[in-house]
Structure 1
Amino acid sequence: MKYNPFKVILWLLFSTWVLLNSVRLFIYGFVISFIIVIIDRAFFGTRKRSDKQFVNLFCTFTVIAAVCYTFSPYFRSLEFKISHPKWNKLEVLSIHKEETRKVSTPLNFLEMIYTPVAIHYVDEKGADQIKNEKIKHYAIVGVEPFFSKQIIEKELEYIHERSLNKLIDKKAVNLYQHPLKDKMKMFKGNDAFALRHSIGFQIALVLAYLLAITLSIYTIFNYRKLKKHMRSASTKERKTACIILFILLYSYAVIAITIIHYLKFK
């Protein structure tokens, strides 16, 4: 059996991304997809399309769960609370911040700002405890002269201070204690989405840049071919052309939003 190298690479990247978050995401994608396929097969669909339908649904729902798990503090906390009902949530009394620090590289790719914080909480025995952690945010990826390093740092400081103050004021830290072991799990923030706390933001932005460049070049040199596929009677050819154009437009949208946000601090 022959395997498409491109598909193998995509599956490896997909699996690595999910496993870096939580193996439970595979289970959620499998269960939801299995239920949908069974319902469709029993009442609406045919047996012939079940296998392909399952794979498509599995990838879609697992990717959605992985995106939420990577960028949503609220989703991570909620998912853990539901999947670990026996763990005890601890009361957070206060959060105190220390001196903010920066980490930078020449190309700004790993530019990060972080602040050590001391989290005062009450353990299961009612005693006051302190847990030391770091609250961090990553910068917009931009190479000079297209992006000014000073403006990137200014924007990053603003994002960090705003998120840090919100976290401290609302004591938005969720601490969970294992019922039997001396093991604790912590989730920082209650925001629906907080893109800048994870290096996944920088990786996603770099991918958007690469996709925009490569697909733009591909579209320019294959314009007639794509136009022919869009008008083709073949569903597969139309689908391929639509996917390419959708990814291209999506990458343009991500870059446009990033540039507009960057210009706000100019």
Structure 2
Amino acid sequence: MTPRQEISAWRPRVAGVVEVLHAHFTEHAYPMHVHDAWTLLIVDDGAVRYDLDRHARGAPRDTVSLLPPQVPHNGSAATPHGFHKRVLYLDMTQLDASYIGPAVDGPDLTEPLLRTRVAQLHTALARRGEEFEAQSRLALISERLRARLRPSPALAGAGPDRGVAQSLRDLLDERLREGIALHEAARLIHAHPAHLVRAFSGAFGIAPHQYLMSRRVDLARRLLLDGQPPGEVASAAGFYDQSHLSRHFKRVVGITPGRYARSGATG
């Protein structure tokens, strides 16, 4: 079978939605990565298997999957002919951080009405001039998601390793573009470099360098959809050069930055 890759991505003029992505893959497998936004996913054909917080999950056609920000996940086709998915990336105004824990525990929601509403929102977002309809549909979807999830209490009894890991994540987020050497991070956090890597990987299920690169790819996606050329995006998102950006971007997203930027030109 010849691998198929079809992607359309754009940023709509609707507050709360940072990106819309429609994709058809037959062989591409997403590596472990994170997003800074909520991932609201429906599958129109085939099925997706993924790991979230070290648990194997699956997204068949009759579910709505909600993957929380900052929690590592991957993804690949669960059927021989691949999958066709539609994704909304929602910012924290739609669901705040208190919903992350419940979403990790139960990311796949089998609710026909919710799935229908998500599909209707995708249709509205693809039509220019239908922003008010999209806003209305998004409000109903966000309300339903909040009702399905109960906010988790603040993390209690977090050990010192968790604190070290959180400190490193905060530092990586703060230095996303310019980066930081591991020895400097260790000096600032007052921990041995090896302990930093072990603590981060143990707490978040992803290595620090994987986290940093996936966050930079996320930033590159936003800049490309804003219309910046790939050469400028590479530098702005913290990559060494355009080829460095392209290598990591294609590994995570499945296509090159240039094709990704062009995919939403008419969206």
Higher RCO (C-alpha under 8 Å, 6+ residues apart): 2
Q: When you count strand as a share of all residues, which structure comes out higher? A: 2
The alignment's TM-score, normalised by the length of structure 2, stands at 0.22
Q: When you count helix as a share of all residues, which structure comes out higher? A: 1
Please identify the structure whose Cα radius of gyration is greater.
Answer: 1
The alignment's TM-score, normalised by the length of structure 1, stands at 0.22
